[in-house]
């Protein structure tokens, strides 16, 4: 813009508007520094604001996935120890049965062994009804409090076959439960029935009957081992997913901070520069506005 | 050869002339910071020989001194018209930018407590419900976070609505100011015409006239054209608002009740030209144009978008919720409804009892499945993305209006600068003019003294011999 003629009010107005501009840049930098953020409203940078919102939502999702994985780990750990205990109980029952086969046991000894089998059975029923946060871990999605119900000396499955799913990553859903029959066999042919039969066989003293009971228990034991292995595999999958969710959250948070947080050294340097510029503008203004021809006339 | 006292006449005209120059300079200095004041300049004209002195005679003098040709008011009507146009555009953009910035600040995005935070909380609550569908506490959390989301959406709509109410009030106030100014400008036009007829100096009336025309342009974006009598005729939206000494009136015909509330119809403005019938006007600029645009397009558009997002949210959640089963195994009901007229709307939470939340995806009686809750949590991603898109588009709009206003400001201040260059008072210049006039006045007085002594010689000394 070519300036042909400069007037006093032009000088004043321009100085004022430039000082205003300088001051508003100062206040912008001050906002960046005091809030610690360069993105304070969507219009500051619409594209970055969009990324920031997406990243923030993704961070929230990853946090939730991590929490879901943690909850799933709780289930799987409980299942693991439950199945471990159940395996121990079944192994003990098989040892007791072996004793009944090998020793030429007396009636009293057999009775004692049979009672022990029955006790093992009742603690196995207790183990099978282990709960996690008040839910039977082997009961699927049952609304009841127990996975197995005992009525008239017969234990039947009271849960359902529905999976207990945990979303541990985008589109990744892991079933963190084992349905009762998967660990203890189907109703009418489950581990508890086998133990009852074994106790009866020991009382009866028939070696053949005891042997077939032991064979059934061996199958039961290996079913428990298979179930436990499966739980272990899922457990490591969920754990990996949880770790991945944590890692992803960290890198997303970094990206978010990159976008919306103030680069402190840069902002500080800019603030200093702006401060100097403002002071220079003030000094220049005070010098430009002062002189007038009247100062030099006598 | 002029008469003996001819030169005294010239010197007297010089004294008169330079006194006027000093008077005008002092007027300029006095008004150095007066708004709308255009500097005056005395144009001197040398008084020379008459073209035809008299029949059969000839003029052999050297001129009769100086007289005031005119006192010019240094303005450029083209530049003034340009300045009015730029100021109209500027106030239009400023009105829009200020209103949009207020709405934007109330969004509370990207990191505040806006809708996206409420949505994230709701999503987490549904996920938690998926993990423990049997926990009454988690069920209650779903209800309470959903209620917070409903409130956040309602707050968003209320913000837009209160901005609309503010704009309606300011539009009414601007209309009142416009009509008063139009009447004042018409009166000033009449006074200018009268002053010109009476041979008085209309300069200060013209200053006032230009100021009023500028303010009218800022209010309505109206264009002003000088009529033959020195007045300004203002046209708004193609219809005359001020014509000579008569003023029309701008009024709201629909959209705003006299008390500033909305009457539910789209905004319509009409202008009654002097002596004419009311004509609908649209496409105004200036503050009124900005407010009208906000009230007809921008703010209702925002409100509709918020309602559309609420609708999408409700549809998404309802679809999944109704395919699930609640705590007793009954099929899920509608979770949200959308009612733009509701008190806390547009989103309305329909489920009040935590047991009615359909967390389970498996029917046939009560169970502890949380599949449906997880499905709802995943489905929320769609409305969330819509909302993010809304915020981004809105942010882009705000940034673009702000950029336009900034660009316009450069243009406006450039035109203002050009006007100031022409019309502004420069103190140094006035001082120089004053000193020049002072010296010229002294010289003219000196001419008087010299002539006096010459005449003294002629009258008193001629023929005397010592």
Q: Give the A window 246-285 contacts with B, CB below 8 Å.
A: 260
Q: Which residues of A touch B74 (CB under 8 A)?
A: none
Q: Where are the beta strands (DSSP E) in B74-125?
A: none
| Residue found by looking up tokens 């002053």 in the block | B195
Interchain pair A64, B388: CB under 8 A: no
Whether the CB-CB separation of B377 and B322 falls below 8 Å is answered with no
Q: Which residues of A touch B391 (CB under 8 A)?
A: 42, 49-50, 53
| pLDDT the model gives residue B185 | 93
Interchain pair A9, B424: CB under 8 A: yes
What are the tens digits of pLDDT across the range A171-190? 888 988 888 888 888 888 88
Q: Give the A window 161-200 contacts with B, CB below 8 Å.
A: 162, 164-167, 173
DSSP state at residue B58: -
| Residue found by looking up tokens 């054209």 in the block | B225
Q: What are the Cα distances from residue A190, in Å, to A31, A35, A139?
A: 70, 65, 15
Is A160 buried (19+), middle (13-18) or exposed (0-12) by CB count in 10 A? buried
pLDDT band at A134 (very low <50, low <70, confident <90, very high): confident
User: Is residue A296 pLDDT above 70, yes or no?
Assistant: yes
Q: Which residues of B touch A57 (CB under 8 A)?
A: 116, 119-120, 384, 388
User: Is residue A1 pLDDT above 50, yes or no?
Assistant: no
Q: Which residues of A touch B398 (CB under 8 A)?
A: 41-43
Pairwise CA distance, residues A86 & A231, whole Å: 14
Whether the CB-CB separation of B236 and B250 falls below 8 Å is answered with yes
DSSP state at residue B39: -
Interchain pair B427, A292: CB under 8 A: yes
Sign of CA dihedral A125, A127, A128, A132: positive
Pairwise CA distance, residues B422 & A47, whole Å: 44
Predicted structure pTM score:
0.82
Residue from B386, B390, B393, B395 to probe the interface with A (highest A Cβ count within 10 Å): B395
Lookup: tokens for A168: 């541990």
| Residue found by looking up tokens 């008063």 in the block | B180
Interchain pair B369, A64: CB under 8 A: no
Lookup: tokens for A29: 């930098």
| Average pLDDT score over residue span A116-124 | 90
Q: Closest-CA residue in chain B for A39?
A: B110
pLDDT band at A113 (very low <50, low <70, confident <90, very high): confident
Is B352 buried (19+), middle (13-18) or exposed (0-12) by CB count in 10 A? exposed
| Average pLDDT across chain A, whole number | 87
Question: A134 to chain B nearest CA, in Å?
Answer: 9
3-state secondary structure of B108: coil
Residue B99's CB is within 10 A of a number of other CB atoms, namely 24
Whether the CB-CB separation of A9 and A247 falls below 8 Å is answered with no
Q: Which residues of A touch B75 (CB under 8 A)?
A: none
Is A74 buried (19+), middle (13-18) or exposed (0-12) by CB count in 10 A? middle
Q: Closest-CA residue in chain B for A163?
A: B369
Pairwise CA distance, residues B172 & B250, whole Å: 10
Instruction: Kindly give, in sequence order, each residue whose CB lies less than 8 Å from that of residue A207, ignoring residues fewer than 6 positions away.
Output: A101
Interchain pair B104, A294: CB under 8 A: no
3-state secondary structure of B22: helix
What are the tens digits of pLDDT across the range A136-146? 888 888 888 88
pLDDT band at A26 (very low <50, low <70, confident <90, very high): very high
Residue from A3, A11, A53 to probe the interface with B (highest B Cβ count within 10 Å): A53
Pairwise CA distance, residues A20 & A278, whole Å: 10
Pairwise CA distance, residues A85 & A81, whole Å: 6
Whether the CB-CB separation of B270 and B251 falls below 8 Å is answered with yes
Q: Closest-CA residue in chain B for A72?
A: B131
Nearest CB to A5: which of B32, B132, B421?
B421
The answer, for A134 touching chain B at a CB cutoff of 8 Å, is yes
Closest CA to B74 of A288, A7, A17: A7
Interchain pair B134, A134: CB under 8 A: yes
Whether the CB-CB separation of B33 and B49 falls below 8 Å is answered with no
One-character DSSP codes across B277-309: --EEE----HHHHHHHHIIIIIHHHHHHHHHHH
3-state secondary structure of A161: coil
Give me the helices (H) in A205-263, please.
207-260
| pLDDT the model gives residue A104 | 61
Whether the CB-CB separation of A161 and A179 falls below 8 Å is answered with yes
Whether the CB-CB separation of B69 and B265 falls below 8 Å is answered with no
Is the peptide bond between B346 and the residue preceding it cis, with omega within 30 degrees of 0?
yes
Whether the CB-CB separation of B368 and B360 falls below 8 Å is answered with yes
Pairwise CA distance, residues B248 & B228, whole Å: 19
Task: Please give chain B's pLDDT, 466 residues, in tens.
Answer: 467 777 888 899 999 999 999 999 999 999 988 888 999 999 999 887 777 767 777 777 777 889 998 889 999 989 999 999 999 999 999 999 999 999 988 888 777 778 888 999 999 999 998 888 888 898 899 999 999 999 999 988 989 999 999 999 999 999 999 999 999 999 999 999 999 899 888 888 999 999 999 999 999 988 888 888 888 999 998 888 998 889 999 999 988 888 888 888 888 999 999 888 888 988 888 999 999 999 999 999 999 999 999 999 999 999 998 888 888 888 888 888 888 887 777 888 888 888 888 888 888 777 888 888 888 988 998 999 999 999 999 999 999 999 999 999 999 999 998 888 888 888 888 999 999 999 999 999 999 999 899 889 888 888 887 6
Interchain pair A294, B431: CB under 8 A: yes
Pairwise CA distance, residues B331 & B372, whole Å: 11
| pLDDT the model gives residue A2 | 55
Assembly ipTM: 0.81
Give me the helices (H) in A36-161, please.
46-102, 107-128
| pLDDT the model gives residue B27 | 93
Q: Which residues of A touch B370 (CB under 8 A)?
A: 164-165
Is B407 buried (19+), middle (13-18) or exposed (0-12) by CB count in 10 A? exposed
């Amino acid at each position: 813009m070519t300036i042909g003629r400069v007037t006093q009010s032009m000088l004043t107005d321009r100085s004022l508007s430039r000082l205003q501009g300088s001051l508003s840049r100062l206040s912008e930098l001050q906002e960046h520094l005091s809030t610690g953020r360069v993105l304070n409203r969507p219009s500051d940078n619409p594209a970055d604001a969009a990324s920031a919102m997406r990243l923030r939502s993704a961070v929230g999702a990853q946090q939730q996935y991590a929490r879901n994985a943690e909850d799933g780990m709780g289930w799987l750990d409980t299942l693991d120890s439950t199945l471990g205990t159940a395996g121990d109980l079944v192994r003990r029952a098989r040892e007791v049965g072996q004793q009944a086969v090998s020793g030429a046991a007396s009636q009293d000894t057999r009775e004692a062994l049979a009672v022990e089998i029955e006790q093992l059975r009742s603690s196995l029923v207790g183990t099978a009804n282990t709960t996690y946060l008040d839910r039977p871990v082997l009961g699927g999605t049952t609304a009841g409090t127990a996975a197995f119900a005992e009525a008239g000396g017969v234990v039947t499955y009271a849960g359902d076959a529905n999976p207990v799913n945990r979303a541990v990553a985008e589109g990744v859903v892991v079933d963190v439960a084992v349905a009762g029959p998967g660990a203890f066999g189907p109703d009418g042919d489950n581990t508890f029935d086998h133990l009852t039969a074994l106790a009866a066989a020991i009382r009866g003293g028939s070696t053949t009957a005891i042997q077939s009971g032991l064979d059934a228990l061996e199958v039961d034991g290996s079913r428990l081992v298979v179930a436990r292995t499966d739980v272990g595999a899922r457990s490591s999958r969920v754990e990996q997913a949880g770790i991945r969710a944590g890692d992803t959250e960290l890198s997303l948070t970094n990206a978010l901070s990159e976008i919306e947080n103030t680069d402190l050294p840069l902002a500080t340097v800019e603030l200093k520069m702006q401060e100097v510029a403002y002071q220079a503008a003030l000094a220049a203004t005070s010098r430009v506005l002062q002189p007038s021809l009247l100062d030099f006339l006598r | 050869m002029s008469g003996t006292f001819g030169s005294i006449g010239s010197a007297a005209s010089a004294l008169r002339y330079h006194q006027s120059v000093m008077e005008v300079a002092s007027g300029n200095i006095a008004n150095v910071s007066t708004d709308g004041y255009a500097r005056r300049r005395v144009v001197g004209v040398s008084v020379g020989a008459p073209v035809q002195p008299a029949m059969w005679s000839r003029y052999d003098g050297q001129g009769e001194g100086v007289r005031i040709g005119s006192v010019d008011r240094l303005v450029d009507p083209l530049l003034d018209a340009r300045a009015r146009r730029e100021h109209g555009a500027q106030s239009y953009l400023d009105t829009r930018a200020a209103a949009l910035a207020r709405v934007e600040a109330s969004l509370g995005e990207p990191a505040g407590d806006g809708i996206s935070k409420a949505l994230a909380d709701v999503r987490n609550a549904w996920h938690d419900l998926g993990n423990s569908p049997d926990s009454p506490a988690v069920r209650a959390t779903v209800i309470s976070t959903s209620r917070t989301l409903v409130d956040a959406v309602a707050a968003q709509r209320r913000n837009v609505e209160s901005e609309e109410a503010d704009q309606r009030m300011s539009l009414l106030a601007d209309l009142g100011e416009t009509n008063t100014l139009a009447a004042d400008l018409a009166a000033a036009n009449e006074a200018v015409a009268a002053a010109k007829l009476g041979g008085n100096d209309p300069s200060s009336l013209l200053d006032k006239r230009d100021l009023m025309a500028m303010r009218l342009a800022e209010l309505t974006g109206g264009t002003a054209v000088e009529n033959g009598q020195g007045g300004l005729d203002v046209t708004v939206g193609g219809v005359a608002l001020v014509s000579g000494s008569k003023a029309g009136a701008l009024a709201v015909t629909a959209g705003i009740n006299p008390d500033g509330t909305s009457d539910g119809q789209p905004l319509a403005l009409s202008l009654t030209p002097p002596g004419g019938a009311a004509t609908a006007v649209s496409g105004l600029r200036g503050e009124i144009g900005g407010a009208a645009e906000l009230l007809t397009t921008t703010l209702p558009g925002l409100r509709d978008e918020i309602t559309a997002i609420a609708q999408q949210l409700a549809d998404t959640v309802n679809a999944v919720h109704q395919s699930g089963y609640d705590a007793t195994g009954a099929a899920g009901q509608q979770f949200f409804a959308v009612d733009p007229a509701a008190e806390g709307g547009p989103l309305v939470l329909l489920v009040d009892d935590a047991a009615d939340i359909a967390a389970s995806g498996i029917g046939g009686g009560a169970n502890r499945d949380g599949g449906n809750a997880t499905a709802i949590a995943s489905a929320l991603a769609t409305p969330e993305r819509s909302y993010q898109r809304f915020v981004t588009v809105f942010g882009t709009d705000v940034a673009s209006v702000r950029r336009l206003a900034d660009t316009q400001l450069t243009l406006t201040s450039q035109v203002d600068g050009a006007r100031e260059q022409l019309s502004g008072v420069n103190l140094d210049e006035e001082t120089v003019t004053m000193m020049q006039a002072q010296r010229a006045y002294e010289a003219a007085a000196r001419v008087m003294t010299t002539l006096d002594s010459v005449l003294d010689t002629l009258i008193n000394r001629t023929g005397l011999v010592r």
